[in-house]
Structure 1
Amino acid sequence: MVLIVESNISNKVEDKFFNRHSNLEKSPLPKSTKDGKDYLNQISSPSIDFKKKSVTNYAGVDFKLYYHLIFRAIQALVQQPEVADNFVHKGVVKVSQNTESKTRIYGKLYECDWWLKTEKLLPPMNNLLSVILYSDATIFDGIGKTSGHPVFLTLGNLVNRI
């Protein structure tokens, strides 16, 4: 639907395409592209809207940065049911299962001493949010000619499997 809206494709052409190439008894697509466009216009989701900024121009080529505002990206992450159900609000102290040895176990960010000490300094009803940003080069095509450096965002308040 985003391609239809951005390319300004007519409703008649797109409706014929959907009907001809749909092999489902009941299509999950809207009955018409007009309905689809109306539905998209009602959605206000940070996960859909990227901002675009021209960073530089080299040899006549504009290099653009596509991004989300960090606050919006965090908001989109926290709204995911899988994230919300596994979010760690308070620091955790883990001790070895061995009853003879009272060895402290450190594995997650929210299990460290710094986290526990910092929590005590926060006003009541406030929690720490660990925002982790990292970048890694990736290739966008199979030949290796097009690459990029996306910045990934995750939250330290989540268990690794999430």
Structure 2
Amino acid sequence: MELIVEGNISNKVGDKIIKFFNRHSNLEKSPLPKSTKDGKDYLNQISSPSIDFKEKSQPEVADNFVHKGVVKVLQDTESETRIYGEPYECDWWLETEKLLPPMNNLLSVILYSDATTFDGIGKTSGHPVFLTLGNLPNQIRNSPESKVLLEFLPKIQDSGVKISEAF
């Protein structure tokens, strides 16, 4: 459970880890909780100065969250082209915020994937899917604390025939 909480692993992935452990262990009774949520709930009830597994908000992330768009106009002097540095600085964001009812804010959810190598020689790779928020400045948004691993995209096997209906 320490690895799951400290590694900021989702309940879905944590549940898969628990099932994997239970399937491949030689124990008659599993020492693990039935689910990641049950394990986190149990750890959050423990009150001990030597144990601190409680889920924590990341202050460096939370303190930089942008609730309202920012009008920041940067312009390339040579081509007179407007430069956008953050999603919440663009015209679309600012115009959309004007359409929202009072006390409501725009939330930008970003899902992305990138190829990752799992071994040192580059033979095993995968495509993790991450979630982050566009309401965070780029520097914070690209830090590990502001990303959540959702899942890995499945690999599609190439049949070699790229014009077939199955492909």
TM-score bin (small chain): 0.3 to 0.5
Please report how far the alpha carbon of residue 153 of structure 1 lies from its aligned counterpart in structure 2 after TM superposition.
1.4
- CA–CA separation in structure 2 for the residues paired with 1:92 and 1:11: 35
Please report how far the alpha carbon of residue 42 of structure 1 lies from its aligned counterpart in structure 2 after TM superposition.
3.9
Q: Quick check: which has more Rg, 1 or 2? A: 1
Alpha carbon RMSD of aligned pairs, Å?
Answer: 12.3
User: What SS is found at the alignment partner of 2:44?
Assistant: helix
Aligned-residue sequence identity (percent) comes to 91
Please report how far the alpha carbon of residue 8 of structure 1 lies from its aligned counterpart in structure 2 after TM superposition.
22
| 1:9 equivalent in structure 2 | 9
| Runs ≥4 residues deviating over 2 A | 1-54, 95-106, 143-146
Q: How many residue pairs end up in the alignment?
A: 137
Deviations 1:81-123 (A, max 9, x none): 1111001111111135999999965221101111011101111
Q: What is the TM-score normalised by the length of structure 2?
A: 0.47
Deviations 1:29-49 (A, max 9, x none): 999999999963748999999
| 1:61 equivalent in structure 2 | none
Q: Which moved more, 1:137-146 or 1:85-94?
A: 137-146
More strand by share: 1
Unaligned runs of 5+ in 1: 55-79
Deviations 1:100-151 (A, max 9, x none): 9999652211011110111011111111111111111111111323221100
Query: Are residues 143 and 96 of structure 1, via their aligned partners in 2, closer, same or farther at CA, if it must alter by over 3 Å?
Result: closer
Q: What is the TM-score normalised by the length of structure 1?
A: 0.48
Note if 1:96 corresponds to 2:96.
no
- CA–CA separation in structure 1 for the residues paired with 2:7 and 2:133: 36
User: What SS is found at the alignment partner of 2:111?
Assistant: strand
Query: Are residues 52 and 141 of structure 1, via their aligned partners in 2, closer, same or farther at CA, if it must alter by over 3 Å?
Result: farther
- CA–CA separation in structure 2 for the residues paired with 1:95 and 1:12: 42
Unaligned runs of 5+ in 2: 141-167
Query: Are residues 118 and 138 of structure 1, via their aligned partners in 2, closer, same or farther at CA, if it must alter by over 3 Å?
Result: same
Relative contact order, higher structure (CA 8 A, sep 6+): 2
